[in-house]
Amino acid sequence: MRIGIDLGGTKIEGIALDGSREVARIRVDTPRDDYAATIEAIASVVADIERRAGARGTVGVGIPGTLSPATGLVKNANSVWLIGQPFRADLEARLSRGVRIANDANCFAVSEAADGAAMGADVVFGVIVGTGTGAGIVVQGRVLTGPNGIAGEWGHNPLPWADGDEMPGPRCYCGKRGCIETFLSGPGMTADHERHTGRRELPTQIDAAAAAGDAGALETLTRYERRMARALASAINVLDPDVIVLGGGMSNIDRLYEQVPRFWADYVFGAVHSSADSSTLDSQPRGVGKGGNSERVRTRLVRARHGDASGVRGAAWLWPAE
Ligand SMILES: [Zn+2]
């Protein structure tokens, strides 16, 4: 049995998986600003789950931050009472077992790679676009972290192939300007829409207005899709993932899955341009012709399968099947 814990700023959620099947789920409030109580709350969730399930499990925890590979201490966490704490060592001592800990966006990517929308794919880029942007990379079922613990944090790169009016771009909380996050997050779309139309609307409202034929909303969505296409094309040029999975609130915009791959063809190195793209998408084998013939992009863009549960499921999957 695998136990996954999603440590959020307001809730701690725990689940137990038997294979892909959920056998228990518990939610408790996060003891805000109290580190010792947070450790105890996680321990009690694990104990409750094991009592209900009648079995002992492995434990993986997703956190809103990361563990410094150098020091083992928590960093980059918006739950600030965790910062600088030896979270894994303390939790391992309290639970008397090894514990795996990963950034929550990495857990999302692990979940979708294990038994979600990217199941079976070799290289997965999992992207959460909601109030912010987070991303994780999974290679053959294992999450990539890296010596700085930031693998996948593409949201704080600048928007690539920026137009004149996109530079220097909106201010980001990280201190830079024009980060991908400032354009692709939900608040980013709302701000862009307001800049162009003077109307302050949520992404769901903009999406609905565009579907009803509103020209301003349609233009906002198209700008958004082109920006997401450029941002993801730059990730494809580095990582060349088999699948890109979208999660978070913005992943519910249906148009993205058709529009973004159409636009990213203009930016992925060596790809067939969108205007030349044909409908025979699956019939063209790789490596046709010689001398620099361009090809269609084979990376797939898909919506997350497990929705909000991806984070906690991915925490459980931090202990993959051997
Ligand atoms: Zn930033």
CA distance linking residue 85 with residue 73, whole number of Å: 5
310 CB-near residues (< 8 Å, 6+ apart): 107, 108, 111, 112, 116, 247, 304
Q: At what angle do helices 35-53 and 87-95 cross, to 10 degrees?
A: 40
For residue 155, how far is its CA from the centre of ligand 1 (angstroms)?
Answer: 7
For residue 27, how far is its CA from the centre of ligand 1 (angstroms)?
Answer: 31
Q: What is the DSSP string of 145-173?
A: --TTS-TT-GGGSBPTT--GGGSS--B-T
Give the residue among 214, 178, 179, 172 at the shortest CA–CA distance from 197. 214
Alpha-carbon distance values, 322 to 5, 17, 141, 318 (Å): 21, 15, 10, 11
What six digits make up the tokens of 161? 């192939």
For residue 272, how far is its CA from the centre of ligand 1 (angstroms)?
Answer: 31
For residue 92, how far is its CA from the centre of ligand 1 (angstroms)?
Answer: 33
Tell me the β-bridge partners of 12.
7, 28
For residue 5, how far is its CA from the centre of ligand 1 (angstroms)?
Answer: 27
User: Residue 272: what pLDDT?
Assistant: 83
For residue 38, how far is its CA from the centre of ligand 1 (angstroms)?
Answer: 28
User: Residue 194: what pLDDT?
Assistant: 98
SS3 13: strand
The H or E element that residue 21 is part of is strand 21-29
* pLDDT tens, the chain, 322 aa long: 999 999 988 899 999 999 999 999 999 999 999 999 999 999 999 999 999 999 999 999 999 889 999 999 999 877 889 999 999 999 999 999 999 999 999 999 999 999 999 999 999 999 999 988 999 999 999 999 899 989 999 999 999 999 999 999 999 988 999 999 999 999 999 999 999 999 999 999 999 999 999 999 999 999 999 999 999 999 999 999 999 999 999 999 999 999 999 999 999 999 987 664 444 444 444 444 334 567 899 999 999 999 889 999 999 999 987 6
For residue 156, how far is its CA from the centre of ligand 1 (angstroms)?
Answer: 4
For residue 170, how far is its CA from the centre of ligand 1 (angstroms)?
Answer: 10
For residue 135, how far is its CA from the centre of ligand 1 (angstroms)?
Answer: 13
User: Residue 322: what pLDDT?
Assistant: 61
User: Residue 299: what pLDDT?
Assistant: 97
For residue 176, how far is its CA from the centre of ligand 1 (angstroms)?
Answer: 5
One-letter amino acid at 59 equals: V
Give the residue among 197, 260, 275, 199 at the shortest CA–CA distance from 224. 260
Residue-wise burial string across 164-195, b where 16 or more C-beta atoms lie within 10 A, e elsewhere: eebeebbebeeeeebbbbbbbbbebbbebbee
For residue 214, how far is its CA from the centre of ligand 1 (angstroms)?
Answer: 31
For residue 181, how far is its CA from the centre of ligand 1 (angstroms)?
Answer: 6
For residue 53, how far is its CA from the centre of ligand 1 (angstroms)?
Answer: 42
Strand 11-18 versus strand 2-7 pairing type: antiparallel
For residue 298, how far is its CA from the centre of ligand 1 (angstroms)?
Answer: 29
CA distance linking residue 50 with residue 62, whole number of Å: 19
Backbone angles phi, psi at 59, to 5 degrees: -125, 125
